[in-house]
Amino acid sequence: MMAFSGQKLSRKNIALVIFIQICLAVLLVTVYQMSNTQKEWISNQLDKTQFEHAKVILLWTFPFGQKFQLNKCPPHFDPSGCFFTDNRELYSIANAVIFHHKDVSRTKRQLPQSPRPIYQYWIWFNMESPSHTRNLHFMENKFNLTMSYRADSDIFTPYGYLENKKSDQNFTIPTKTNLVAWIVSNWYPTSKRIQYYKELKHYVTIDIYGKHHLPLSSDIQVDTLSKYKFYLSFENSAHEDYITEKLWYNALTSGTVPIVMGPSRKNYERFIPSHSFIHVDDFPSAQELAAYLLELDKDDEKYQQYFNWRAMYQSSGQFDWEHIYCKVCKALEAAPVYRTRPSIEKWFR
Active-site annotation, residues: 128
CA-to-CA dists, residue 341 to 131, 141, 150, 229, 283, angstroms: 21, 6, 15, 45, 40
Residues comprising the chain, all counted: 349
Distance CA 7, CA 5 (A): 5
CB atoms within 10 A of CB 19: 10
Q: Which residues on neighbouring strands pair with residue 228, listed in sequence order? A: 178
Residue 317 CA, distance from chain mean position: 14
Distance CA 262, CA 290 (A): 18
Q: Which helix (H) or strand (E) holds 291?
A: helix 286-298
Strands 228-234, 178-183: pairing is: parallel
Q: What's the maximum distance between 2 C-alpha atoms anywhere in the chain?
A: 116
Distance CA 199, CA 87 (A): 51
Contacts of 20 (CB under 8 A, 6+ apart): none
Q: What is the DSSP letter of 204?
A: S
Q: Which residues on neighbouring strands pair with residue 98, listed in sequence order? A: 59, 123
Cα dihedral 302, 226, 289, 159 sign: negative
Please answer whether residues 255 and 247 qualify as being in contact, where contact means their C-beta atoms are separated by less than 8 angstroms. no
Residue 75 CA, distance from chain mean position: 22
